[in-house]
Amino acid sequence: MADAPEEPKISKRAAEKEAKKAAAKAAKAAGKANAAASKPTGPPEPTDPFKQGWLKGVYGEKPVKDVHTRFPPEPNGYLHIGHAKAITVNFGFAKSYGGACNLRFDDTNPSKEEERYFTSIKEMVSWLGFEPAKITHSSDDFDKLYELAEELTRRRKAYVCHCTPAEVKKGRGQLPGGEFGPRSACEHWSRSVDENLAEFKAMREGKYKPGEALLRMKQYLATKPEEYEIGEEDSVEVKKEKEKLKALADNPALWDCAAYRVTKNSHHHRTGDKWRIYPTYEFTHCIVDALEDISHSLCTVEFETLRPAYNWLLEELDMKERGSDEKGPMQREYGRLNVEGTILSKRRIAMLVEGTALGAPATTDVADDMDEMTLAEEGETEPEAPSEAAKTVTNGTGRKIPPAVRGWDDPRLFTLVALRRRGVPPGALKKFVLDLGVTKANANTMTHILDASIRTYLERTVPRLMLVLDPIKVTITNLPDDYVEEREVPFDPKDKEKGTHKVPFTKTIYIDRDDFREEDDPDFFRLAPGKSVGLLNVEHPIRCTSFKKDSASGKVSEIKAEYGADVPAGKARIHWIGHSAAHNSPVRAEARIFNPLFRTLKPNELDWKNGGYHDDLNPDSLVVYKDAMIETGFHHIREHAPWPKEEGEARGTADKSSVRFQGLRSAFFALDADSTDDKIILNRVVSLKEDTGKK
C-alpha cells in the first residue's frame, strides 16, 4: 500500500521524522508499562553480585532481617590484596542485604600488635569505600572471655595442662615426620573442676611462664576408636551417631585445642598489664561473633575444618543451639583470592622490606611453638611457621641481605597500601574481586590478570594527557620564535563530559626519545632523518631535517624539523609537549615505572630459607625517568581529583594517588605520595598494553 498512487508524496526526511516520533511514542508507552509492571517488586537489581550464586545461597540458608557480618583482621601487619576480597565480601554482603558489618580487630596476640597496623587497616577499609557499623576489638571482651573460660571449666569442658609443646603434639598423635599416630589424653585431662579453676586462676596471676600452662578445651582428644567403631548389631540410628562421632574425633581442630595461653610479652596495646594470659583465636573468634550478634560469619575455606570447633564451643556455652544455625552465628567459607607472581606472606614481605641476616642464632620461642597449634591468619597464602626470617639459620655464613623495596607501601608490592600508592583505584580492586567470583572454590589468578582488569577499568574512567618520559627537544625551524597556537584538546575523545583544555603548540616542542631513530628503517613509522610524522592534536605533520648529539653522552640532544601543510603526511601520530614560558609548559615530573620485583613468575618457589630469593630480584623492577614532562592539562586533573569519579575514593579518603590519568601512547599514571607542590612524582599504575617482555 505504501506505493499506492493516491498516497501523498512525502520527503525521505519527513518520513524519517514521522518514524522517529512514532518510535519515541511507543518507547514512552512501553516504559510506562514496564514501570507499572515492576512496581510491586521494586527496582530490579540484576547486577548485584551479592544476590547471585554462592552468596545468595548463604543468605538463603539464614535469611534474617538483620544481616550482621564482620571483617576480623589481626592488627599485626599490613593488609594485602587477598584481604580486599575479605573486606569486599563481608562489607558488601551486609550492605547488599541492608545489614551492618563491624570492623573487628582480633587483638589477642599482644606481642605482635602495633598502632600503625590499626590505623592502616581502618584506612584501607574506608579507602575501599566501606564504613564499619562499629569498630570493635576482641580485647573489649577479655573480661567476658575469661568468665566464659571459667564457665567452660565448670562445665567440665576445659582443663589446665602443663605438658610441653612436644608432649602436647605427641598426645595429639602428631609424629615428627608429619605422620599421625594414636592419640591419647594427658594426665591433666582428668583433673577436678576445682583444681582446674584454681590452676587457671594461677595462670592469670602469673604463676606460670610461657609454655608452662595452657587452658585446653576438652573436645574429642580422649574419644576412643571403640566408641565409634560400627558393630554389626548397630541400628541405623546408632550407626549414624557413630559416624558423626568419628568425623568429630578425626578432626584435628577438635583435639583439645588451647583456649588460653601465657604469652611471652604480656603487655597489651589496649589493656596494658592487666593480663598475663590471652585467649586463642579458636576460643575468641566464635564467642566474639556471638557477643556481637553476627548472623553470617564469612571466612575463607581453610577455616572450614574449624567450623565443627566453632560450633562446639558455642554449643557448650549455650550460645548456639546444638546442630542448628538458627540461633547464634553461622559460619560459612568462601574460596580465598590467590595471586601468583608476587609475595603475599607477611613474613616474606617483611624480609623484602627490612632485609634479613642469614646465620643469626635461632630463636626457639615456646610461645611461638604454641601458636603453631593455631592456624595462620586469614588472607595468608599458606599456613606458615612463625618467624621464618628468624629461623633462617644455615651454614652460618653471616650473609646480610639488604632490603629489596622501599617500604610496605612500595608500589612493587601487593599490600593494599602499596596498590593504593601505585594508583590502583579502589573500585578496580573491588570489581576484580567480584569478577573472579565468590564461591567455595579458591580464586587463583596472576598479577598480569589484575593489571589487565585495572587497565580496562581505567580506560574510560580517567582523563588523558600527553606525557613524555624521556624528552628530546625538537626545534621547528620554519616557525617564528614567538609562535603560539593554543590547541583545544579533549580530556577523553569518547567522553565529552570530561571537558577540554588548551595546550600550547610552539616553535620548541619535546617528543619521546623512543619516537626518534637516528637511522630510518622501512618498518619504523615515526620520526627519523628526512621522515615525517604526525603530531597528536596538531593540524600538520613535522619532518626531521637534521639532529645533534651530545658529545659527552652520545645521545641525541636536539632535532631540527619543519612543519606545515607542505610537509608530507606521516604514517603515525606521536605525542609531544610544547615549550611556552607564558603557559608554564612543560610541567616537569619524575616518572617511576614499576616492573615485576622478581624475574621468575613464581617467586613463592624461590629459596626463602637461605636468601636465594635475593638473587632472583629483577634489576629493572624500578625504572626512574627524572626528566619527564607533562602537558599543562595536568593542573586541571590534579585540582579535579579523584579520578575516576564513580566508584573512586570518597571525600576524605582521596589522597595524592587519586590523581590518575592516561598518558597517551604511554601508560596510566598516578601522583605519588612523595610529590610536593614543587616536585611532581608519578607512578605508573599499569602499562597501556600487556608487556610481553618482547621489544
Catalytic residue from among 95, 112, 261, 346: 346
172-211 residues in contact with Zn ion (CB under 5 A) are 186, 188
Alpha-carbon dihedral sign for residues 144, 145, 146, 148: positive
By CB under 5 A, residue 215 contacts Zn ion: no
Q: Which is nearer to Zn ion, 166 or 362 (CB)?
A: 166
User: How far, in Å, CA of 413 to CA of 345, rounded?
Assistant: 11
The minimum distance between CB 260 and Zn ion, in angstroms, equals 14
**Hunting for cell 576445659 — which residue is that?**
158
Quote the strand ranges of 393-460, DSSP E: 400-401, 443-446
Q: Cell for 128?
A: 575501599
- Is 100 a binding residue for Zn ion by CB under 5 A? The answer is no
Q: List all residues 6 or more positions away from 114 whose beta carbon is below 8 Å from its beta carbon.
A: 75, 76, 269
Opening angle at CA 437, ends 434 and 442, nearest 5: 120
Report the residue number, 188 or 320, with the smaller CB distance to Zn ion: 188
161 belongs to the binding site for Zn ion (CB under 5 A): yes
Sign of CA dihedral 456, 462, 465, 468: negative
Segment near Zn ion (CB under 5 A); pick from 64-72, 161-169, 277-285, 584-592: 161-169
HSE-up of residue 281 (Cα within 13 Å, Cβ side):
19
Sign of the Cα torsion 269, 274, 276, 281 reads: negative
d(CA 275, CA 261): 11
Q: What are the beta bridge partners of residue 562?
A: 543
Whether the CB-CB separation of 576 and 629 falls below 8 Å is answered with no
State the minimum distance, in angstroms, from the CB of residue 214 to Zn ion: 8
The one catalytic residue among 336, 420, 498, 656:
336
Q: How far is the CB of 171 from Zn ion (least distance, A)?
A: 7
Between residues 191 and 513, which has the closer beta carbon with respect to Zn ion? 191
Stretch that binds Zn ion, among 11-19, 156-164, 221-229, 585-593 (CB under 5 A): 156-164
One character per residue 110-149, x = contact with Zn ion (rule: CB under 5 A): ----------------------------------------
Nearer to Zn ion, 221 or 535 (CB): 221
> How far apart, in whole angstroms, are the C-alpha atoms of residue 568 and residue 197?
94
Residue whose beta carbon is closest to Zn ion? 186
Whether 190 contacts 256, CB under 8 Å: no
Residues 360-379 that bind Zn ion (CB under 5 A): none
160 versus 253: smaller Cβ distance to Zn ion: 160
Write phi, then psi, for 379 (nearest 5 degrees).
Answer: 95, -15
Stretch that binds Zn ion, among 160-168, 365-373, 408-416, 598-606 (CB under 5 A): 160-168
Point out the catalytic residue in the list 74, 199, 282, 380: 74
Q: Quote the crossing angle between the two packed helices 115-127 and 81-96, to the nearest 10°.
A: 60
Does residue 163 touch Zn ion according to CB under 5 A?
Answer: yes
Q: Per CB under 5 A, which region of 163-171, 443-451, 569-577, 591-599 contacts Zn ion?
A: 163-171
Q: Is 243 a catalytic residue?
A: no
d(CA 395, CA 609): 11
Cell numbers 580485647 correspond to what residue?
139
**188 or 421, CB closer to Zn ion?**
188
Size of the site for Zn ion (CB under 5 A): 4
State the nearest-atom distance from the C-beta of 187 to Zn ion, in Å. Answer: 6
25 is catalytic: no
429 binds Zn ion (CB under 5 A): no
Establish whether 336 is a catalytic residue.
Answer: yes
Report the interface residues with Zn ion, using CB under 5 A. 161, 163, 186, 188
| Active-site annotation, residues | 74, 336, 346
